[in-house]
Structure 1
């Protein structure tokens, strides 16, 4: 019920359009019933050879009226119903994106990427059947049957009661049987489609590695196995549908015979004019034909329900994250601050800002902080106190007892072996991972009190794996700031040492980069990510292995340009390469999630600890 309550709320804002679409559908169906009934009466009346054709003018006009009205109403029904469907589908897509986007990282930890892709694309597309194929057919059929039953009651309840009984069999019992059989035969279909999508995405993403290691045949074999499993399930589902359609057709014709027999008895008993016999039978047949879509509608109802449930399963991921945020907020609140949760109205949020939720609507009024952001990058400090992070409630600590103070314009590097917790720290600062303990403040505010849009203006990041869109280089750069001028873009390109790359591209910054930026090398993609960061006015810059794709000579020059370009900004750099660290204000050494050494480059060398050993090894490798 929760799933259907969630789905039906998308229809409620368009209740007027829903009523119009349903009204036109009912009018078209009743026009069809009226046309067939009037035609039967006209044929029967004409067979009696009336004295003048004028005695037939009423049914003749009736046939024409119902024929024209059926066409007009069917056109309007298609117009209104499809307009309603597209509007509802648009709202569903928007709602799903708004709910899923803030919890993308935890979501991908729970579900496979192919499964998530299948849900937010194919399952959302399935919901276009919510009204047209799932709700409209049973509603229209029910209203039509009731209207025809009322019309038959005019000539006697002995006609309408058998008709209603037959309609109950054709319209409820057989569709319910079809629904049960369809659920059983369709079990596993969404999962089979997700598995096939997962195989396709895996092959496309890992094509280079598969070819390099000669495993492409095995990948194709797995793809064919997934395709065969899907085909088998679909064929079984279609066979059930075919049997149900045949059963319904037989039942409908049997129902017509039942009503015909009852009507003939009334004619023999002189309680019904024989000229009405053909009209009543044709009206019954036409009304029962409106029940034909019901088995399919119930199957579509099951498909829509399953798709809605799979999408709704993504929503508790957000609710779980919200619950954990509330608990985290209570644990890491600022001293002397009382808070009731991140999604409650906060008194300690951005000054002059009333909040109804972290991702909800914000009503902002002018404040000193907001004005500072509008005028240019504010000088903010970032403080971390006793931070602890674990990915499971009882799992091992990824970070523990981490303290850090990044003042305005200060540069700090975090070094350590793989798995030490360096990237986890960046994810915490970006609110992609929630801490288990400790406090994080930025500009004197709790990190979790800063609204999401404002946080993205205060902090920018250069990730280790940069995603580039299939667009021009300029479009990929302006992702950071849409209103960046040509001079600002040119300066960012120069500081990121992309000038040679731009010069060799056929159309310069207007060159299409292809899927995932395939026209650029790994190092060039990394420098483009740096250029993005330079285009922003964010006062705090986070770097995740910024030189991982550069050679030694380019790396040295790149670091010099990088530190010069960011000399007025706060910089937190995560790296396992020790180039340029002598120019850092402070270096933190992380091991097993804990800071084991800290200090300047010279101070750490004097300590002759882990950093000294890694620096000595690095220098030996450089000399080689």
Structure 2
């Protein structure tokens, strides 16, 4: 594929800008009524502003051209009218500010909700290539920019467009000749402003990307502070973050310089044109073809028009910056997860009390980030309802990958996986995952209390059910010893708990779910001997009446499994019981020899 030409890039940028504007429309349409009310307030405020120069003309021509009581009366009436206009302007402006600020907050909240709701439906493939910090940057920094556009810039743009159009019309009413000249000169100034604005837009997008990079670095390091400090890399990581911040600063300065030049260009060109026209108007007063009041009115309307154009250039600069942010958010919204529920999903059959049947037929899988390396290669496996199967093997053998395929975090490139005779791709994702309980190797504890962390396994569970699950997982005793018991806050990522305590919380969560298929990924790896004995006993009770797959490096935890499967480089290389596999003298026998410290023949 050939690289696009500069012309193509320019066209693409133009189309992208239009697409960006269209992308925000669905978020704005639900609030048509609020936009209508804000529009009415906007029109009233703009009309009041445009009435001020006319009042000044009346004051100059009628008030200052006469003397005595009549002159004082005209001046009094004029200033009374000006105060009335100011009252209308104040009320209308306040109403406009309230409505557009509400719209900005509301639309921004909707966008954040929509983006976040979309991101959480993405498959793990998305998170393989996207840093969490970048997503958070788009949810916060980028949406804040859009808020400034919806809540401020749009209102400012519409207000100044109305003032520009109304002021221009009144210029023609006041003096068609001078107005015609000012139109020609203003037209000559707009083209360079628009062309320069495109550069600002590109720099705005680059600036947001650099900010996202810095956020990604910070998020990664803050989530790994114990490791950073253990290796005394605080200074190194601070320098790395500083490098990202400085890169973002340099890009932001390029954007700021471009915006500054854009503003200077707009002001110089616009006001230069107006000063030239006003010079002509002064000569018209001197030769008697225009009154002083008319010139004063023309000057004020010209000032309004010039101010509107200057404000529009500022708004344009802000809009260019927000356009880059909007593009980034719409990119997230346009992503489609490769893992989707089917349009006509099948239901699981009524499950027996023995658990679920599982069948894998010639399954082949490559991770998207490693397409040339098969993580699972031509695996076929049938597991009967209620059977307990242990999966062992060295690190990287494909054990955890197998669990990810069962949960349908990924789809295999070849072969099929069936749960109770139904292909996983034919099941609704929630139906499938509700039928599976998992205790992962890396336990996730949320920033909540112990009760809510366990209840995560079943959102509608009662307190009594949560406590029962905790007792089964040997977690009840240590939870009761916490300062506030089950209401104790466990800290971000469970920092207030030991590794074994976190794992028992995760086991309780899975037991509360009470699924027909249970996946245990190193479920007792972080437990001490006493806790492991307690949890092992609880798991043996929990495994009754359900199908269970166990991943374990510590072979003592799988001795009672109905069947042991040995994996190596994504393939099943041995199958049998502990006794039969030891007798074979293969890979499992070597692992058992190392762990049990016995010499096997």
What is the TM-score when the length of structure 2 is the normalising length?
0.88
**1:133 Cα deviation from its structure 2 partner:** 4.6
- Tell me the distance in 2 between the aligned counterparts of 1:10 and 1:183: 22
Residues 592 and 486 (structure 1), Cα distance of their counterparts in 2 relative to 1, 3 Å cut = same
Q: Per-residue deviation at 1:81?
A: 1.0
CA 1:259–1:386 in structure 2 vs 1: closer, same or farther (change >3 Å)? same
Is contact 1:41–1:278 with CA below 8 Å preserved after alignment? no
Match of 2:81 in 1: 62
254-263 vs 569-578, which deviates more?
254-263
Q: In the alignment, what sits opposite 2:487?
A: 510
Residue 229 of structure 2 corresponds to 211
Alpha-carbon distance in 2 for matches of 1:316, 1:109: 18
Name the SS for the 1:408 alignment partner: coil
Distance 1:517 1:39 in 2: 70
Aligned to 1:306: 324
Q: In terms of mean alpha carbon deviation, does 592-601 or 175-184 score higher?
A: 175-184
Structure 1 residue corresponding to 2:122, chosen from 103, 115, 119: 103
Residues 1:178 and 1:494: Cα distance change in structure 2 (over 3 Å): same
Query: Which residue number in structure 1 is paired with residue 466 of structure 2?
Result: 489
CA distance in 2, matches of 1:174, 1:157: 26
Aligned match for 2:524, one of 527, 547, 571: 547
Is 2:109 aligned against 1:90?
yes
Note the alpha carbon deviations across 1:236-261, whole angstroms, 9 max, x for none. 43344334434433344334323423
5 Å-filtered alignment, 1:343-492, equals: 345-346=343-344, 349-350=345-346, 379-392=355-368, 394-492=371-469
- How far off its partner does 1:460 sit? 2.1
Secondary structure of the structure 1 residue equivalent to 2:397: coil
1:241 aligns with 2:217: no
Distance 1:461-1:71 versus aligned 2 partners, 3 A rule: same
Match of 2:21 in 1: 4
1:399 Cα deviation after fit: 0.5
Matched with 1:288 is: 306
Cα offset for 1:299? 2.3
Q: Show CA shifts across 1:211-270 (max 9, x none).
A: 222222211222222223333333343344334434433344334323423444554565
Post-superposition Cα deviations, 1:30-82, rounded to whole Å, max 9, x if no partner, equal: 32232244235424533223552444565334312321121111111111112
- Asked whether the 8 Å contact 2:59–2:78 carries over to 1, the reply is yes
1:261 aligns with 2:257: no
Q: 1:86·1:128 contact (CA, 8 Å) conserved in 2? A: yes
With over 3 angstroms needed to count, the CA separation of the structure-2 counterparts of 1:57 and 1:169, relative to structure 1, is farther
Q: What's the TM-score once normalised by structure 1's chain length?
A: 0.85
- Partner deviation per Cα, 1:457-501 (whole Å, 9 max, x = no partner): 211221111221222111211122233222212211111111332
Q: 1:23 to 1:398 in 2, by over 3 A?
A: same
Deviation at 1:449, TM superposition (A): 2.3
Distance 1:377 1:124, change over 3 A: farther
Kept in 2, the 8 Å contact 1:387–1:435? The answer is yes
Structure 2 equivalent of residue 198 of structure 1 = 216
* Structure 1 position 112 matched with structure 2 position 88: no
Give the equivalent residue in structure 2 for 1:338: none
CA contact 1:107–1:317 (8 Å) conserved in 2 = no
- Pick which of 540-549 and 392-401 moved more: 392-401
Q: Which residue of 2 aligns with 1:355?
A: none
**In the aligned structure 1, how far is the partner of 2:428 from the partner of 2:113?**
20
3-state SS of the aligned residue for 2:417? strand
**Hey, what does 2:3 align to over in structure 1?**
none
Q: Secondary structure at the match of 1:487?
A: helix
- Retained in 1: the 8 A contact 2:473–2:508? yes
- 8 Å CA contact 1:44–1:278 kept in 2: the answer is no
SS at match of 1:455: helix
Superposed, 1:513-592 pairs within 5 Å as: 513-592=490-569
Distance in 1 between residues matched to 2:326 and 2:353, nearest whole Å: 44
Verify the 8 A CA contact 1:29 1:144 in the aligned structure 2: yes
CA contact (8 A) 2:202 2:324 kept: no
* Cα deviation 1:338-362 (Å, max 9, x = unaligned): xxxx65x43xx235xxxxxxxxxxx
Among 188, 207, 216, the residue aligned to 1:189: 207
- State the shift of 1:181 in Å: 4.7
Aligned partners of 2:197 and 2:588: how far apart in 1?
67
Q: Distance in 2 between matches of 1:184 and 1:430?
A: 41
Which is further off, 277-286 or 527-536? Answer: 277-286
**C-alpha distance in structure 2 between counterparts of 1:377 and 1:318, whole Å:** 37
Task: After superposition, give the CA deviation of every residue in 1:534-560 in whole Å (9 maximum; x if it has no partner).
Answer: 111322221211122123443244222
**Where in structure 1 are there 5+ consecutive unaligned residues?**
326-341, 352-367
Equivalent residues of 1:159, 1:262 under 8 A apart:
yes
Moved more, 93-102 or 71-80: 93-102
> Cα distance 1:527–1:166, how it changes in 2: closer, same or farther (>3 A)?
farther
Residues 92-112 of structure 1, C-alpha deviations (whole Å, 9 max, x = no match) = 122212322222511222223
SS in 2 for 1:67: helix
Q: Deviations over 1:425-464 (max 9, x none)?
A: 1111222122101112223322122223322321122111
| Corresponding residue of 2:245 | 227
Runs of 4+ in 1 over 6 A off after TM superposition: none
Contact 1:33/1:287 (CA < 8 Å) preserved in 2? no
CA distance in structure 2 between the aligned counterparts of 1:5 and 1:406, rounded to whole angstroms: 52
- The question of whether the paired residues in 2 share the 8 Å contact of 1:29 and 1:290 is answered with no
Is residue 502–residue 509 contact of structure 1 (8 Å, CA) maintained in 2?
A: yes
- Structure 1 residue 167 displacement after superposition: 4.4
Contact 1:35 1:62 in 2 (8 A): no
Contact 2:358 2:419 in 1 (8 A): yes
Cα distance between partner residues in 2 of 1:611 and 1:592: 14
Bigger drift between 612-621 and 514-523 goes to 612-621
Establish whether residue 38 from structure 1 lines up as the match of residue 38 from structure 2.
Answer: no
Pairwise CA distance, 1:134: 4.6
Deviating more after overlay: 249-258 vs 285-294? 249-258
CA contact (8 A) 2:100 2:155 kept: no
Unaligned runs of 5+ in 2: 1-15
Cα distance in structure 2, aligned partners of 1:265 and 1:89:
52
Aligned-residue offset at 1:176: 2.2
